[in-house]
Amino acid sequence: MEEGGGKRKNERPYKGIRMRKWGKWVAEIREPNKRSRIWLGSYSTPVAAARAYDTAVYCLRGPTARLNFPDLVAGGSGSAGDMSAAAIRRKAIEVGSRVDALETSGSVAAGHGHGHAPSSGFKPCWFEEKPDLNKKPVPEDPDANDDW
């Protein structure tokens, strides 16, 4: 039984999140004095899901909230309890999505999560020009036609 407890700890590195079987991280929070939950989204990284949870718990409980990242609290608009569940969801998803994009683009671009462009001379895919899909493709190397 001890192994199950240890495994569960690794699956939930932050409060308010869990990992789906297929690897996505999801966040949700229970509404105060209600049985319902507020869905906070599905994310690629546990940090993004945890930041979405932090945003929601801060909106609900204010400065007394127990956060995953207390040093990253941004002063929110409105005090605790003033926002509707839909407004909390929107704000949490906005923060989580922004963090998810930064986390995934940083690790993809640099291979190690620092967000710098690779030094190999290759440009990341978002710098490539968009091809004109109405034109016939032209081979880059005229000698490469032998393989066709």
Binned at pLDDT 50, 70 and 90, residue 134 comes out as confident
Is residue 28 included in any domain, yes or no? yes
Q: Pick the more confident residue, 34 or 110.
A: 34
Is residue 45 included in any domain, yes or no? yes
The SS3 call for residue 75 is coil
Is residue 118 included in any domain, yes or no? no
Is residue 142 included in any domain, yes or no? no
Smallest Cα–Cα separation from 26: which of 54, 50, 57? Answer: 50
Report pLDDT digits (tens) over 18-29. Answer: 999 998 999 999
CATH number of the domain to which 86 belongs: 3.30.730.10
Give the percent of the chain with pLDDT over 70.
Answer: 58
Is residue 33 included in any domain, yes or no? yes
Contacts with 71 (C-beta within 8 Å, 6 or more apart), sequence order: none
Structural domains in the chain (count): 1
Report pLDDT digits (tens) over 51-90. Answer: 999 999 999 988 889 999 988 876 554 455 568 999 999 9
Is residue 123 included in any domain, yes or no? no
| Distance (Å, whole) CA 17 – CA 22 | 15
Tokens 């967000």 identify what position?
115
Residue 70's domain comprises 17-106
